[in-house]
Structure 1
């Protein structure tokens, strides 16, 4: 595994977008606009610029020929993840009267969108690139008061696994510090659909769904090609229902009361969906609980090294902050690694599986660069399934971001290719669907549905801003006429109409169909209809640090490394060759809690 260096792919993206700050989104070139006497012309100016999830609209008020206030009028950025960008950049601009500010780590594209939006507005006030760049440069790096601190338990990573571990450790009598390298908590949990699988829940009972722990185990093992660690899968399945109760009763998480979802590869619907159909609800409530308990948070603090004592026990974590100070966190009891996977580290991905090269965008947050993998390797931890990398089949072709409007697939929407034909079971495994799409013309596909499906999930209204952004970028189209729908993306109209006729006959009359259709089955007959262009993107890395049933990290000889635990996507073995949808959140919460409880008892 040695020989590669950790790749910070998000930094390259930052450079690319930073270059674009020299180009104005307005009608005129910034440098060609003559400035008034003084700096800017007094008044109110509104402009937009692209963020990560769509346009960011800002209003800039100029008084006494300089920036007085900045207000965001509209945006579709992910809450929590991008909050630090809004909370830091605009006050800094107002206080220092400058647009020459740093981006916020973990929210680079949002930061650039805010900066570009403000500059676009100031162009209307007579601003130009020379004025913008000659201003004082503002950074957000803060020096730490103490370079060395001691706690009982050190948790590395502030996603769902890290927060769960921190809560359990603190509740079990430990003083806990959580290190997060970004300015915001959440990790990939935050940008997930907020769905987690559990058998025998009240929601299943209300919907007359028969399920069992054994069936959940079997589905997971089959989905992972029986490459999974069965002992770990069993723990996940056995503890799943208890986790849902813990979330609702102790953490205060709310789930959509009337939605029970069946992800691909599952034999029955068993996924509860958090309010908003995103992981924001989970992260906000977990963070609130952790803070109430007294967990210490160190943000913008990147762990760099695990330190062992003479007996081979992990006792320290080395880290650095944005001020480039070297920090040491001593652990009286133990350390929990919960740093997530390596989906956004292209070099690391290709070192384990050459297939996942730069043709693939990713759905993951920029922090997902394999830091925990690198640190664990240096102390000779064992690893499992590192070549197993999963793509998500229905993502935005321009950004790679997972599309939640495309969750209409779970309510019965069908996939067709450029030739207007179904080519895959839409409710199959993610890896199978993704590969099926890559085998089609231009390595893309089209999701199609009508009102029979839309009225069940209401995806275009539930995710209204994403829907509008997709429309603005010609990635989704709505029409009462199927021929018009086909023409929009040059899909073969005659073949598409024939496909829909055969599919509807299968639903209504049980006629034979060439390609299996499992899960929700609804006709596509009632307009208005929708067609959405989708592509696969790297979504999850199944491989990682090898752990035992107690979430203890194992070394290359399969002996436990004293004082070290791991949970979440940084670990391997639970999902085998392929992760079923909804299993990641269950996994990180179950093993996050196990890791935290045991770490506190060392």
Structure 2
């Protein structure tokens, strides 16, 4: 579980949040609405944008209050008139947000199994309808058998920016993007959209596929089809985009589609994203993460950076001096209005990565109404069918603002949950009161602080006890033995002195196989601990631990 949301790197938007008030940021839902509508352009759906922006502040406050998440830092991303993209001091915000909710759900599945069930390795085949045309469940395959689950259905299957299948939505609607690399996991093949379309749902804006300007180019694998994303926050804190002559060519904080267009128009690749010392410190965790993966490189001076670009130090200094003057006068030939990162000097250190445009987000999808109900081709809700997140179209119009993907998941996830519970009660009447009450109990448990749980033994507690009770006579391996297992079909890693065989876990890793394979046969402790809570291994891959490292 988690999908691409676990990889979201910049943060979650919120207007009028507690954090903004504490920082003195004069934001409002009205300003956020106007920014989003401007970005959505001619495809703006005021009703959906009003839900997204109007409930944004409450969504961020809910995550902080009910899940005790750190969302204390706020950045201004491209297209925003105020700083409103929230993240914490460490780890990717997408991972923090999705893991907190996944863990709460897993605890509930353990403590109240009559109310919550999770089925992994189960592939939904089709939506099931009754004689009236209402959706009453899903048919799915699990352990080689075809089974059916009954009830209202909420689709949260993501987009289609990795749909390279035979019936690809990407190839049908944007064939010119077919050869571009993607930031999406291979699961993003539009399954939810296709299943709903098969029963008469309507789709909107399927040709609106966002190409993100800043995909990270791995110098060791420059032509890789799947690429990691450089968080937009890297530009939000003051990062500059420089072409192969060491010059700027665009307002780094413009809309994503605009920046991408200017990259192609300029054509002077490789293009580098450069952060000076102050910007690097502001987003230190991200830089450390990218450097650790070999996707970003640190230079100790402007001279060293100029040599890497292949230009004279004087040319790079000229770019810096011109930008310092622009920051002072607020007169940028490229139209930039907001400046961060402080003064640019040659005697500074820099974190630098090469950039390329990448397939990123699909704005198109299933047509929904403000209650997250999926609409048919006549514009009427299909009873029993709801959608949340990237599977739904129309929310972002022609272009999505950075920080609004996680927001769409949280806002429309909560809306669809409310709508599904309400639908169940209305459809079944008094008979459903008990069932709806149980749904309400689940929602209450999911939104309650973990400290208030009265359940005697959550899944997390059981896993921690299991880890503590691990046998002392386990096998031990030398570093040299681990180093031999460094391939996709034979992959070991070292984490906190434990040796893990993650070969079978590779396809299940939310961050993709490549994130683990970078550390095949090596010690991945520092990188792992930057991203994960210690209980992740006993919780999600206890069978992967095969021994300890010999000292």
Instruction: Report the equivalent of 1:517.
Output: 336
SS in 2 for 1:533: strand
Tell me whether 1:220 sits opposite 2:36 in the alignment.
Answer: yes
Aligned ranges 1:48-63 → 2 under 5 Å:
none
Aligned ranges 1:324-403 → 2 under 5 Å:
324-331=144-151, 334-346=152-164, 347-358=168-179, 360-397=180-217, 398=222, 399=224, 400-403=226-229
Shift in CA distance, 304/448, structure 1 to aligned 2, threshold 3 Å: same
Shift in CA distance, 231/500, structure 1 to aligned 2, threshold 3 Å: same
The number of residue pairs the alignment matches comes to 405
Aligned ranges 1:369-518 → 2 under 5 Å:
369-397=189-217, 398=222, 399=224, 400-404=226-230, 407-441=233-267, 443-458=269-284, 461-470=285-294, 476-480=297-301, 482-491=302-311, 494-508=314-328, 510=329, 512-518=331-337
In the alignment, the residues of structure 2 paired with residue 529 and residue 196 of structure 1 have an alpha-carbon distance, to the nearest angstrom, of 27
Instruction: Report the equivalent of 1:297.
Output: 118
Residue among 92, 96, 103 paired with 1:277: 92
Shift in CA distance, 361/311, structure 1 to aligned 2, threshold 3 Å: same
Aligned ranges 1:533-548 → 2 under 5 Å:
533-548=354-369
1:290 CA displacement = 1.9
Aligned ranges 1:214-253 → 2 under 5 Å:
214-250=30-66, 252-253=67-68
1:300 CA displacement = 1.1
Normalised by the size of structure 2, how large is the TM-score? 0.70
Q: Which has the higher helix share?
A: 2
1:528 CA displacement = 1.5
> Does structure 2 conserve the Cα–Cα contact (< 8 Å) formed by 1:228 and 1:575?
yes
> Does structure 2 conserve the Cα–Cα contact (< 8 Å) formed by 1:363 and 1:538?
yes
1:210 CA displacement = 0.8
> Does structure 2 conserve the Cα–Cα contact (< 8 Å) formed by 1:487 and 1:493?
yes
SS in 2 for 1:342: coil
Shift in CA distance, 265/234, structure 1 to aligned 2, threshold 3 Å: same
Shift in CA distance, 512/595, structure 1 to aligned 2, threshold 3 Å: closer
Shift in CA distance, 253/263, structure 1 to aligned 2, threshold 3 Å: farther
> Does structure 2 conserve the Cα–Cα contact (< 8 Å) formed by 1:451 and 1:527?
yes
Shift in CA distance, 523/442, structure 1 to aligned 2, threshold 3 Å: same
Instruction: Report the equivalent of 1:191.
Output: 7
Instruction: Report the equivalent of 2:69.
Output: 254
Shift in CA distance, 236/365, structure 1 to aligned 2, threshold 3 Å: same
1:465 CA displacement = 3.7
Normalised by the size of structure 1, how large is the TM-score? 0.64
> Does structure 2 conserve the Cα–Cα contact (< 8 Å) formed by 1:263 and 1:410?
yes
Shift in CA distance, 518/511, structure 1 to aligned 2, threshold 3 Å: closer
Instruction: Report the equivalent of 1:201.
Output: 17
SS in 1 for 2:339: coil
In the alignment, the residues of structure 2 paired with residue 501 and residue 219 of structure 1 have an alpha-carbon distance, to the nearest angstrom, of 31
Instruction: Report the equivalent of 1:138.
Output: none
1:206 CA displacement = 2.1
In the alignment, the residues of structure 2 paired with residue 377 and residue 533 of structure 1 have an alpha-carbon distance, to the nearest angstrom, of 39
1:268 CA displacement = 0.5
1:601 CA displacement = 2.2
Instruction: Report the equivalent of 1:171.
Output: none
Query: Residues 418-439 of structure 1, C-alpha deviation per residue, up to 9 Å, x if partnerless?
Result: 1222111001111111222223
Shift in CA distance, 376/511, structure 1 to aligned 2, threshold 3 Å: closer
> Does structure 2 conserve the Cα–Cα contact (< 8 Å) formed by 1:412 and 1:519?
no
> Does structure 2 conserve the Cα–Cα contact (< 8 Å) formed by 1:195 and 1:582?
yes
Instruction: Report the equivalent of 1:19.
Output: none
Query: Residues 442-472 of structure 1, C-alpha deviation per residue, up to 9 Å, x if partnerless?
Result: 65411123213223332xx44424213226x
Aligned ranges 1:586-597 → 2 under 5 Å:
586-597=407-418
In the alignment, the residues of structure 2 paired with residue 513 and residue 279 of structure 1 have an alpha-carbon distance, to the nearest angstrom, of 33
1:326 CA displacement = 1.8
Instruction: Report the equivalent of 1:131.
Output: none
1:517 CA displacement = 2.1
In the alignment, the residues of structure 2 paired with residue 415 and residue 210 of structure 1 have an alpha-carbon distance, to the nearest angstrom, of 29
In the alignment, the residues of structure 2 paired with residue 222 and residue 520 of structure 1 have an alpha-carbon distance, to the nearest angstrom, of 21
SS in 2 for 1:255: coil
Shift in CA distance, 479/340, structure 1 to aligned 2, threshold 3 Å: same
Query: Residues 536-561 of structure 1, C-alpha deviation per residue, up to 9 Å, x if partnerless?
Result: 21110000000111111100111111
In the alignment, the residues of structure 1 paired with residue 92 and residue 244 of structure 2 have an alpha-carbon distance, to the nearest angstrom, of 30
SS in 1 for 2:43: coil
> Does structure 1 conserve the Cα–Cα contact (< 8 Å) formed by 2:15 and 2:28?
yes
In the alignment, the residues of structure 1 paired with residue 208 and residue 240 of structure 2 have an alpha-carbon distance, to the nearest angstrom, of 27
Instruction: Report the equivalent of 1:115.
Output: none
Structure 2's unaligned 5+ residue stretches are 110-115, 424-551
> Does structure 1 conserve the Cα–Cα contact (< 8 Å) formed by 2:201 and 2:376?
yes
1:226 CA displacement = 4.0
Instruction: Report the equivalent of 1:558.
Output: 379
Shift in CA distance, 303/253, structure 1 to aligned 2, threshold 3 Å: farther
Query: Residues 272-317 of structure 1, C-alpha deviation per residue, up to 9 Å, x if partnerless?
Result: 1145133121112101222344421110111111121111011121
Shift in CA distance, 444/431, structure 1 to aligned 2, threshold 3 Å: farther
SS in 2 for 1:279: helix
Instruction: Report the equivalent of 1:306.
Output: 127
Shift in CA distance, 506/283, structure 1 to aligned 2, threshold 3 Å: same
SS in 1 for 2:336: coil
